[in-house]
Structure 1
């Protein structure tokens, strides 16, 4: 019996010894991994941009070029300039604010959510009438948009820059009777520049008051009818500034610098954005103020 107990005791000791080695080996391997952090891939750098959709097609191209050049991932939230500003403020995040006009950048500065000293003007815009390719309704002028049977869309002026500009143009150009006729023809208040242009591409409306660049977003489906010089109140511009919510101001500034470089400008030139105010003036045919703010009349508030 004693011999049998001795064997059992030996087996038990060997079993515990083996288990201890296995635990030690696993523990040692894990420790070695923790002690060599240099072997782990570095955390990916990224930027978050809250952007008005007035810049969407070229900004997507520019962001890809920036990623290829720097390895920095660029995430973008597009929409109406006022709407994405609200998102940025509520979420308290984002590295850059890139609205479609000066109006909403001024709001961002007043709200204290961007660094004013970082603001830069990237490109310039001019309003136009955008119609379906071939202009099947033969729309030749702003007043044609008041004719019965014409389906019109404008962007929601409360949160979208091109809608705000559209209201400014209408209020300046139309008599009260013409304005009412125009408003009777509005079938949609779109939520962004992108959706305003898409309304023409999808043929859900006959015309929109948009930007001249819409034609180059979808040249097979969109055509531009120029406004008279007297109907254009001001030249728009697309500004960008570093958000006060950024955790990497230096990297955000690097992206602004990239947009102002030749590589960055190439993306906007592809879609026929005006790179200087003088180009916009040449397109209009007369000089006009650049930027500024417009207060939306109460009757247009929903």
Structure 2
């Protein structure tokens, strides 16, 4: 038997195929996987022979029905899915919400064709309901599939796109950044349907496979691979555990690795949301959603504590601020004072959005050069990787960023140490939020992230896990004086 399917179902199909074959001894199922337009064209013109088609949304299913290729009454909705908006890695445009897609910051938006694709259709509907589509549409470029649209963002030909959550979580989070989820109440539900195709050589086996997708074993797999189940869970059986981690963007290489290690160890899905620490604090305060808060500086954890948003934290690692310049240092920058020389373009963090902005100003004021340097500031970034991108693209000459972030851009950036008398050690806490759905699970994640194993991951990704000698810890006033050491 052959099942045709788009790539979004690859992981789910692989698991359910193996389970079905175990239950039906001697059965072998082959998968034909390809982008939706290619699969549909192959089925329509007979170049692809299949018994079952797994469809996402109604658009591709309707095309097969119009071609008379679907057995009537044989389809079953086996899952639902949701949408997320994604931006270029590092979020160089500094977007903070869906409203940012309609702003002048975004010059190009890539979208799967709404006429052919459920993702594109649902996104347009959602943006119309939010009153944003009239401003997004003029800069929208349409592509035949979701994969082709998102590739534009990966290759930096478009600023943003939209995709399905499973596609982002199990692949695209390594090549793009999450901007926001699209609220599901803004568009019709996106249903995943398995249908029996006319001409099936084994319609009874095809029907059995379609029905199997509604079994408890298959529905558990539906959840494991990021979809929403459609059959109720048996009474007394808990759903798959999940943690939502709000993390500073500069921590991404280590936090991605820690999340994956935790998932493998404990079977708990860890969803990551990256932005500037200030943006995340506002998000936590407004939405009251999130289990773990990982800001890039202790100040934000103390702010969250005073607002009653977090209950406890431990130290994960440390940042050491450095001067970062273009590779080869064409401006000959050697000191903090050099950042104030005429003609030097300086990029700094936005103090309202992230700790790097606040700390850079403190360092420059200690050195007595802030008044001169601030005249040269041509860029205020909402996330620290944006400053690394700006140096790589040579749109700024210098910045003050974290040592670990500078290492991530080492091919394009040179580093100049800041004298300890002006510098400070930046403490990075991992905090359990007041809104954690499972506080014990959240605490276990904190313990894991700050354990020797967690510190080893941080260190492997270029982060500092032991305080350098001679660098002062300048803790903010008020609130807890020191977090617990991990």
**Which has the larger share of helix?**
1
CA contact (8 A) 1:108 1:114 kept: yes
2:218 and 2:360 mapped to 1: Cα distance?
A: 56
Computed over aligned residues only, the root mean square deviation of the Cα atoms, in angstroms, reads 2.0
With over 3 angstroms needed to count, the CA separation of the structure-2 counterparts of 1:256 and 1:136, relative to structure 1, is: same
Name the SS of the counterpart of 1:165 in structure 2. helix
CA contact (8 A) 2:295 2:430 kept: yes
Counterpart in 2 of 1:291? 475
What are the Cα deviations for residues 109-155 of structure 1, in whole angstroms up to 9, with x where unaligned? 0000111xx31011111111011222121111101101111110000
Counterpart in 1 of 2:464? 274
TM-score, reference length from structure 1: 0.77
Matches within 5 A, 1:1-302: 40-41=219-220, 43-115=239-311, 118-174=312-368, 178-232=369-423, 234-277=424-467, 280-281=468-469, 286-293=470-477
The higher relative CO (CA closer than 8 Å, separation ≥ 6) is in 1
2:270 and 2:277 mapped to 1: Cα distance?
A: 18
CA deviation after TM superposition for structure 1 residue 271, in Å: 3.1
Runs of 4+ in 1 over 4 A off after TM superposition: 36-40
What are the Cα deviations for residues 51-78 of structure 1, in whole angstroms up to 9, with x where unaligned? 1223122111111111122221111111
Counterpart in 2 of 1:14? none
Structure 1 alignment gaps of length 5 or more: 1-32, 295-302
CA deviation after TM superposition for structure 1 residue 290, in Å: 4.9
1:82 and 1:95 mapped to 2: Cα distance?
A: 17
CA contact (8 A) 2:406 2:415 kept: yes
1:219 and 1:287 mapped to 2: Cα distance?
A: 23
With over 3 angstroms needed to count, the CA separation of the structure-2 counterparts of 1:143 and 1:258, relative to structure 1, is: same
**Is 68-77 or 89-98 further displaced after alignment?**
68-77
CA contact (8 A) 1:52 1:81 kept: yes
Name the SS of the counterpart of 1:276 in structure 2. coil
Structure 2 alignment gaps of length 5 or more: 1-211, 221-237, 479-486
CA contact (8 A) 2:328 2:414 kept: yes
1:272 and 1:246 mapped to 2: Cα distance?
A: 29
Name the SS of the counterpart of 2:421 in structure 1. helix
1:217 and 1:187 mapped to 2: Cα distance?
A: 23
TM-score, reference length from structure 2: 0.49
Structure whose CA Rg is larger: 1
CA contact (8 A) 2:425 2:471 kept: no
With over 3 angstroms needed to count, the CA separation of the structure-2 counterparts of 1:40 and 1:190, relative to structure 1, is: closer
Name the SS of the counterpart of 1:231 in structure 2. coil
Count residues with an aligned counterpart: 248
